[in-house]
């Protein structure tokens, strides 16, 4: 099993009673609940609230061996995986390595506009957001201060919408009373989306509700607008130059590099095309599940979306096939297996505090009830009882007093603090503490 995300974990769980040895290989030692990454990036939750060590997830499943390592290549003819300088042989392979973000050929934008996929990404965004306010506090130049207080979020899918709403919450409600000089409520949040509506994967009703809710919060939403350029102090969106120090990338996905090593059919995003049984055509012993797979649902002929439910259902489906075939010791063939059907359980996105949009069972609704449902579903799918309890406590606390408990700036402060110190007048003093999270 390559990947301990949603797809990998659900496939492996199905093998708990099977007579086989399972090796779970992941380049991180933890499983991440990605739908809540934006809450780490915006200081609402701590990293450990939404992540669990993969070793701990499988501590009671004795046929699982967890390996921390990056698989750089898979040789389907020789049935081997390359992990660093090691080559490992397999009998059956499940690839659940997911996707990463892409800058559509503009990789030079990466350092300027971090994406959100891992805990490290979330901590980097949190660091930049919090530092921007710290720097703005002591910035005497009004133009530069405005740039520091401008946040451009690129991509109007769920991540972009949720990031934009959470940034507005921080600037307008969480921190204004903690700053003495700068008015953080004057921060500008701009959400840029290339399509003609937000949340393209959801209903028109949800898109419209999300846009008006964000605009009511004071967020500028630019639709049918593409980012064409970035420099150190501005983002160019359509024909506009937006002076902004902070850019967050929430647009576009591409398969992880490992997919290119297989030499099998891939789509434009590099994802691997699989058959109805989730195995690669011609390789019945090699399965691909989750975001990395291009799969057509047998029940309605539509493509399975790259969402958590898609990965969970494909993972469980493949796990069941493997468990059954291992039990019977039956020879594997594509034709003798069932075809995967995706059950759409709905889609949701939060918008700021205690508000969300939801498409569930053919109905579309927005507001507090949608947010309650969103909260319930997200807690239910979090891995680990401790995480479920901690997240519920944190959310209740935040809901009551607007607090965001994880506002820690970690890592080196670089030149920013020097700049601030130089601008302090004689009566001011400032102590900067660094914390480890």
Ligand X SMILES: Cc1cc2nc3c(=O)[nH]c(=O)nc-3n(C[C@H](O)[C@H](O)[C@H](O)COP(=O)(O)OP(=O)(O)OC[C@H]3O[C@@H](n4cnc5c(N)ncnc54)[C@H](O)[C@@H]3O)c2cc1C
* Closest distance to ligand X from the beta carbon of 31 (Å): 6
Say if CB 245 and CB 231 are below 8 A apart: no
Ramachandran angles phi, psi of 325, nearest 5° = -70, -30
Question: Does the footprint of ligand X cover residue 7 (CB under 6 A)?
Answer: yes
* Closest distance to ligand X from the beta carbon of 381 (Å): 9
Of 96-104, 130-138, 180-188, 388-396, which segment contacts ligand X by CB under 6 A?
96-104
Residue 148 or residue 292: which is nearer to ligand X going by CB? 292
List CB contacts of 257: < 8 A, sequence separation 6 or more.
72
Question: Does the footprint of ligand X cover residue 26 (CB under 6 A)?
Answer: yes
Vertex 359: Cα angle to 354 and 363 (nearest 5) = 115
Q: Give the three-state DSSP class for 167.
A: helix
* Closest distance to ligand X from the beta carbon of 11 (Å): 9
Beta bridge partners of 192: 154, 222
* Closest distance to ligand X from the beta carbon of 305 (Å): 8
Question: Does the footprint of ligand X cover residue 2 (CB under 6 A)?
Answer: yes
Of 13-21, 169-177, 204-212, 287-295, which segment contacts ligand X by CB under 6 A?
287-295
Question: Does the footprint of ligand X cover residue 166 (CB under 6 A)?
Answer: no
Catalytic residue among 134, 139, 162, 169: 162
- Which one of residues 1, 8, 286, 359 is an interface residue with ligand X (CB under 6 A)? 8
Spatial separation of the C-alpha atoms in residues 36 and 372, rounded to whole Å: 15
Vertex 147: Cα angle to 146 and 152 (nearest 5) = 115
Say if CB 359 and CB 370 are below 8 A apart: no
> What part of residues 28-87 is at the interface with ligand X (CB under 6 A)?
28, 34-35, 37-38, 70-71
Active site residue 215: no
Spatial separation of the C-alpha atoms in residues 276 and 335, rounded to whole Å: 9
Say if CB 155 and CB 223 are below 8 A apart: no
Say if CB 211 and CB 138 are below 8 A apart: no
- Which one of residues 47, 194, 290, 319 is an interface residue with ligand X (CB under 6 A)? 290
- Which one of residues 47, 156, 306, 384 is an interface residue with ligand X (CB under 6 A)? 306
- Which one of residues 6, 58, 342, 371 is an interface residue with ligand X (CB under 6 A)? 6
Spatial separation of the C-alpha atoms in residues 238 and 222, rounded to whole Å: 9
Question: Does the footprint of ligand X cover residue 359 (CB under 6 A)?
Answer: no
Written as one string, the DSSP assignment of 75-97 is: ETTTTEEEETTEEEE-SSEEE--
Of 55-63, 196-204, 209-217, 285-293, which segment contacts ligand X by CB under 6 A?
285-293
Contact letters for ligand X, residues 240-279 (x by CB under 6 A): ----------------x-x---------------------
Spatial separation of the C-alpha atoms in residues 162 and 125, rounded to whole Å: 14
Question: Does the footprint of ligand X cover residue 5 (CB under 6 A)?
Answer: yes
Q: Give the three-state DSSP class for 115.
A: strand
- # binding residues, ligand X (CB under 6 A): 34
Residues that bind ligand X (CB under 6 A): 2-8, 25-28, 34-35, 37-38, 70-71, 96-98, 116-117, 158-159, 256, 258, 290-292, 306-309, 311
Active-site residue set: 162
């Amino acid at each position: 099993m390559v990947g301990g995300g949603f797809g990998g974990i659900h496939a492996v769980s199905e093998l708990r009673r099977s007579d086989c040895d399972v090796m779970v290989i992941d380049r991180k030692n933890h499983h991440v609940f990605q739908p809540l990454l934006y809450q780490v990036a915006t200081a609402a939750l701590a990293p450990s609230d939404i992540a669990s060590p993969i070793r701990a997830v499988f501590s009671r499943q004795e046929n699982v061996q967890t390996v921390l390592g990056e698989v750089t290549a898979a040789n389907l003819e020789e049935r081997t995986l390359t992990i660093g300088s090691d080559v490992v042989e397999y009998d059956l392979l499940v690839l659940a390595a997911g996707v990463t973000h892409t800058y559509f050929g503009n990789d030079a934008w990466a350092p300027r506009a971090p994406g959100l996929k891992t805990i490290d990404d979330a901590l980097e965004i949190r660091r930049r957001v919090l530092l921007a306010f710290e720097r703005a506090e002591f910035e005497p130049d009004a133009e530069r201060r405005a740039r520091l207080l401008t946040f451009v979020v690129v991509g109007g899918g769920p991540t972009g919408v949720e990031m934009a709403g959470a940034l507005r919450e921080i600037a307008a409600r969480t921190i204004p009373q903690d700053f003495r000089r700068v008015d953080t409520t004057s921060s500008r949040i701009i959400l840029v989306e290339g399509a003609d509506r937000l949340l393209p994967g959801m209903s028109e009703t949800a898109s419209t509700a999300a846009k008006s809710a964000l605009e009511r919060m004071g967020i500028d939403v630019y639709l049918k607008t593409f980012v064409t350029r970035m420099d150190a102090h501005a983002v160019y969106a359509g024909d506009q130059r937006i002076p902004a120090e902070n850019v967050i990338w929430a647009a576009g996905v591409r398969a992880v590099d490992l997919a290119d090593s297989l030499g099998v059919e891939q789509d434009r995003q590099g994802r691997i095309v699989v058959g109805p049984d989730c195995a690669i055509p011609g390789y019945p012993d090699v399965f691909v599940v989750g975001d990395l797979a291009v799969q057509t649902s047998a029940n309605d002929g539509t493509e399975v979306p790259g969402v958590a439910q898609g990965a969970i259902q494909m993972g469980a489906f493949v796990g069941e096939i493997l468990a059954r075939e291992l039990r019977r010791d039956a020879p594997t063939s594509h034709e003798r297996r069932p075809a995967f059907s995706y059950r759409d359980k709905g889609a949701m996105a939060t918008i700021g505090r205690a508000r969300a949009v939801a498409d569930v069972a053919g109905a579309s609704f927005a507001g507090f009830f949608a947010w309650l449902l969103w909260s319930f579903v997200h807690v239910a799918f979090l891995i680990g009882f401790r995480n479920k309890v901690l997240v519920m406590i944190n959310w209740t606390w935040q809901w009551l007093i607007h607090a965001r408990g994880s506002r820690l700036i970690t890592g080196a402060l670089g030149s920013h603090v020097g700049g601030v110190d130089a601008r302090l007048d004689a009566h001011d003093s400032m102590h900067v503490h660094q914390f480890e999270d």
